[in-house]
A and B are shown apart, each in its own frame.
Chain A
Amino acid sequence: MRRYFARKLLTYFLTFFVAVTLDWGIPRLMPGDPIAGLLSKFQLQPSSYAVLHSSYTRAFNLGEPLWRQYLDFWRALLHGSLGTSIYAYPDPVTTVIRHAVVFTLALLLPATVLSYLAGNKVGAIAARRKLLDDTVLPFSYVLTATPYQWLALLLAFVLASVAHVFPISGGFSYSLVPTLSWAFLWSLLTHWFLPFVTLFLVGFGGWAIGMRNLIIYELDADYAHFLESLGAPRRLVRKYAYKNARLPQLTGLALSLGTIVGGAVVTEIVFNYPGIGWLVLQAINSEDFFLLQGIFLFIIVGVLLANFVVDVVYVLVDPRTRIGLQEGTR
């Protein structure tokens, strides 16, 4: 067991190293000059432009040779620093991400978990009731095949633009200053609702279809037929099928929980919701290497952690993996 986890950890560290290196390199392959982008916000004389440009380039260490930048990047990273954001200059990247991550988590965590729970329940029921299967299944297929931005636009149009039930954009009303008041919380909640519903509905369709298909597969497995030949009631057969069908779903859940910190790019953009996904767009638009790196690093760590959790949880819930470990076959 210990050897198994030691080997897993080694794999994770290697993956982390490679991913971080790519994370550092990819933004630098983007065409354009981030400092020029930053300075274009100011009205500058050509002479002061040149001075500012060289001083900013020095400040961000962009004049150094690449290998140097790379080493500096690792050194700063190990000290917990991701540099200064160009887009939100002069805020450090960690602060910018911290503000956005709160919105993203508040949005995606409930959307993912609730759609997982509801989708699995409904999918499992659909697998055994013809009528429900005939209605839920096509509905779920439509939902899961719906592009987020399309559903988001539809909801925004109907419920915000036309009916004025919900606000159309932002994380909270611009006329409010963030305080711990009922008015502010209410504003947060109403702004949160539409992006949440978008993510929930699309996710729900996928989970429901997955669970339904898995249950039907399990109900046709040999052990299910054997139980039937022993006269076991349907309740028991279904209980077993449900428990076994949950395992692949659980993997899916953990993986999507891992990518949560990456935010929901298109949905957040449609609703102008100030989460990580929206921040990605801002970082790209202003060629903010450091912010983009920081966000990607966040996603890398999230995915790796989630994978690790899946490994551990699987060992706990599925005897087949556990026994594989004891025999040292894995």
Chain B
Amino acid sequence: MSKMLPDGFEALEYFVERWAVDGTANRDRRRGDSTENERVAFFEAAKGLIPQALELLDRKPLDEFNEREQRLMNMVLSFAHVAMAVEMLGDAEPRHARFREVMRITRSPADA
């Protein structure tokens, strides 16, 4: 299988399909649709790689990413959502997700 992410991020390849999500509101929905096991697995695999990913991605303007870099960027952004669920809410996340649906994201600089 061909690589989906830049070199150095092989540990995250397994999570690409689930977490390389375009659009802030879509990332929020993915968080809401996911299981606790999915969130925890992604959080544990990615948390140590976030500084490294940002260091790599900061080398290029945001609109010049290739496909692999864009997937990595979208995964990093999904991590921002998942970090709230795993680190801050834990067991309370499913109940919280129901309430969150009311609070619709209507604009994000990341979608510009």
Task: Decide if A and B are genuine partners.
Answer: no
